[in-house]
A and B are shown apart, each in its own frame.
Chain A
Amino acid sequence: MRFELDDSQTALVAEVDRLLDESGPDLPPLDQIALLGEHRLLAVHYPVRYGGRDLTLAHHAAVAERMGERGLPDVAHLVTVQAVGCTILCHGTERQRAAWLLQIAGGRLLASLLLSEKTAGSDLAGIETNAVADGDGWRITGAKSWSLFADWSTLALCSVRTRPREHRYDGISLFLVDLSATGVKVSPTFRASGAPYCTVTFDGVLVGEDSVVGPLHRGWPILPTAIGFERMGFDYLTRAVRWLAAAEQEVRRLPADLRSAFAPQVARLRFRVANARAMAYHAVGTADGLDMDEITVAYAKLACGTAAQAVARWAGTELLPVTRPDDGSPAAEVLRAAVAEAPEFTISGGAQELQMDLIANEFPIGGVFR
C-alpha cells in the first residue's frame, strides 16, 4: 500500500505550483485556469490529441486537488473537465470531441451540467424540460436549477425530454447547448454561501441535430456516468483540508485550557479528513481508464463530503463561539463560510441517499474496501 502521491503525480503538482507561482499573485482565476490549460495540465487524463497528456485519472486528481488548495474555482473546473468533457469523450461523436475537447482541456471555455429542475432535484428522471423536433434540429423549452457558475459557462450538457416516456427512464436525451444562443437566459438564485446558483431558462432554443450526445431518447444510462465523472469527491476534499487547516490555526490561537479541551476533536477531524483523502485517491486509482467503480466512488464521495461537513459543524458549534468575531481573523472567516456551504456536500452531485443505496446493495457489504 502507498499513501502518498507517486513521483509522477508529485512532479505534476510541482509543475502546477511553478506555473502559478511564476504568473504572480494577481492573475485572475479564469486566466490561471487558461494558463494551466495552455500547458496541458487541466485534463492530463485526456488523450494527447484532445489536449491532455494521456495520463491516468489519479494524475488528474492530483492536479485538481492542488488547484482546489490554491483556491481556484474547482467546481467550475471539475464540472467542465469531468462531467461535461469526459461525457463527450466517452459518448460524443468524433465531431463533438473535435469541436469541444481541445477548448475544454485548454481552459478556454467552462461548461455546465444542467440536470436538476425545481421539481426534479435528486430525481433526475422527473424532468420537464423538453425538446421538440424542428426541421433538422430541436427546440428546447424549460428551466434548469441549482447550477453553479453557469454564468461563466459558454456550453452546457443538458438533460431534456424528447418524447413522451414509455417508462420512467425512457425519452430522455442529452444535448450540448451553446449558452449564448438566442432564447437562453441565465439568472441568479439565492444561495446561502458563495456565488449564487444559476437558473438557466430555455425559451424555444434551437439546437442542431448534431447536439445530441449519446443515443436519442435513451440518454438515461449516460446520466449516472456523467455525474460519476464529476463525483470524485475532490472538490469536497479540498474544502475539508482548507477548513481543517483554518480550524487548527484558530485552535492554536486559543488560551491553553481551551486548546487542550479542543485537541481531541482536532485529532479526530484530522484523522477523518486524511482517511477521506485516501479513499478518494483509492477510487480514482482503481479506475479502469475513466470508468470508476460506482460503489468505491460512493464511499469516497460520502467520506469527503461528510468529513468536510464534520469540520464545518464542529467549527460552527464549538470553535467559532469562543473566538472573537471582531478580530478580523481570516481563518475564522473561512470557517464561517464553511458553515454556510457545508450542507451542499451531501446533496450535490448525487444525494447522500443515492450513495447509501449503492453501498447497501453490495454483498458482502463493505467488500470494496478490504
Chain B
Amino acid sequence: MNLQPTVNQRSLVAALRRASATAPDGTAAWDVLNAAGLTSAAGRDVPDVLQWGLLDWCLALEELGTAAHDAVLALAVHASLDAFQAAGERLCDAPRRLESVVRRCRAEAGVPPAGSPADSLTDRGLIIRAAYAIGIGRGCLELAQARAADRTVSGRRLIEFQGPAHRLANTAVLLADARIGVWRAATGEDAGTAAGSGAAACAATSVGAAVDAAHELVQAHGAAGTSDQRVVELYRAAYALANTCGSPQLLWARAGRQWLAAGASSPEAC
C-alpha cells in the first residue's frame, strides 16, 4: 500500500495553497482554482481539472475547505464533468466545453438540490463533499492548535496541558481516519471500483470529524472564540456541511442499506 500523493498531486495542492493564501476573503473555490491556473491547460505543468480523477478533485477540495472557500460552483462543475465522462465523452480535448459548463453551473448555482443530500447525491458526489468537509475540519484544527500554542492559562501554554492537547490529538486522528477513507474510496473509483457503502461512510465520518474539530476550535479560544469572526465562520461552515453532505445519521442509514444489498462482497471489505 502507498498513501503518498504523486508529484502532480503535490504540485496541485501547493498551487492551491498559494492561490488561497492570497485570495481575498469570500473568494469562491472555483475562482481560487482559476487563480491557481488549474482550470486551463495552457502552459501549466500541473494537469488542469479536465484531466483530474476523483482523487485529484478530493485533494483540491480539502485544500479549498481549509479556508472555507464557497465550493458550490466547484462542486457543480465537478458533477457536470463527471456526468460527461460517465457518458463516455472525452473532455480533455474540449476546453471550450468547460467554459459552457461553468456558465451553466453558475446560472444554476442558486437552485437548491431536490431531496435530502444523504439520499439524492451520487456516491462520487458524496466522496468529493467529504473531502471538502475534511478541509473545513483541518482548518478548524490548525487554528485551534495555533491558539492553544499561543494562549497562556495559569502561567502555562494551553497546549502543555494534557487535556486540551489530547482533545486536539483525538480530533487529528478522527480527521486522518476520514481522510484515508476518502482517499481509499476515490482511488477505488478512479480504478473503476465502486465505493459502495464507503461513499456514504466517507461523508458521515467527515462531517462528524469536522463538527468535532469546530467545537475544539471554539474551546481552544475560550469565550473569545464565540466573538472571533474567523472562528465563528469556520464553526458555521462545519455545521453547514450537514446541509451539503447530508446528516450523518441518514448517511449511515444509506451506508447500511448498501452494505446489506451488497452482501459479503462489498468493496471496502477488509
Contact = CB atoms under 8 A, between A and B. Distances in A.
A78 interface: no
A268 interface: yes
Contacts of A265: 252, 256
Taking each of B2, B170, B198, B252, which has the highest tally of chain A beta carbons within 10 Å of its own beta carbon? Answer: B2
Contact of A268 (B5, B138, B252, B266): B252
B241 interface: no
Contacts of B205: 268, 271
B74 to A, nearest CB: 19
A362 B172 CA distance: 10
A282 B3 contact: yes
A259 B201 CA distance: 18
B259 A270 contact: yes
Interface stretch (B93-101, B108-116, B159-167): B159-167
Interface in B113-161: 138, 141-142, 145, 149, 159
B145 A275 contact: no
B186 to A, nearest CB: 8
Contacts of B224: none
B200 to A, nearest CB: 8
Interface in B236-270: 252-253, 255-260, 264, 266, 268-270
Interface stretch (A1-9, A21-29, A141-149): A1-9
A15 interface: no
B166 A356 contact: yes
Contacts of B202: 271
Interface in B174-218: 175-177, 179-181, 183-184, 187-188, 197-198, 200-202, 204-205
Interface string A224-257: 0000000000000000010011001000000000
B166 A267 contact: no
Contact of A266 (B145, B165, B168, B259): B259
Contacts of A268: 201, 204-205, 252, 255
B168 A365 contact: yes
Given A1-B2, A263-B256, A275 B172 contact: no
Contacts of A100: none
Given A360-B165, A366-B141, A299 B173 contact: yes
Contacts of A5: 1
Contact of B270 (A241, A262, A360, A370): A241
Contacts of A248: 264
Interface in B54-82: 55, 62
B258 A1 contact: no
A264 B252 CA distance: 5
Interface string A331-370: 0000000000000000000000101110111111110011
Contacts of B92: none
B22 interface: no
Contacts of B170: 356
A303 interface: yes
Interface string A257-284: 0011011111110111111111101100
B258 A267 contact: yes
A241 B176 CA distance: 20
A266 B138 CA distance: 27
B83 interface: no
A366 B1 contact: no
Given A1-B55, A58-B1, A267-B258, A274 B270 contact: yes
Given A266-B259, A267-B256, A303-B173, A360 B187 contact: no
Nearest to A242: B270
Contacts of B229: none
A266 B200 CA distance: 13
Nearest to B181: A275
Contacts of B165: 356-357, 360-361
A3 B142 contact: no
17 contacts: A1-B55, A3-B184, A266-B256, A267-B200, A267-B255, A268-B252, A268-B255, A274-B198, A278-B180, A281-B1, A356-B170, A359-B169, A361-B165, A365-B142, A365-B169, A366-B138, A370-B62
Interface of B: 1-5, 55, 62, 138, 141-142, 145, 149, 159, 162, 165-166, 168-170, 172-173, 175-177, 179-181, 183-184, 187-188, 197-198, 200-202, 204-205, 252-253, 255-260, 264, 266, 268-270
Given A264-B252, A264-B256, A275-B177, 9 more contacts: A1-B5, A268-B205, A270-B270, A271-B255, A278-B180, A299-B173, A356-B170, A364-B142, A366-B172
User: 6 closest Cβ contacts across the A-B interface?
Assistant: A263-B256, A264-B256, A267-B255, A281-B1, A271-B201, A360-B165
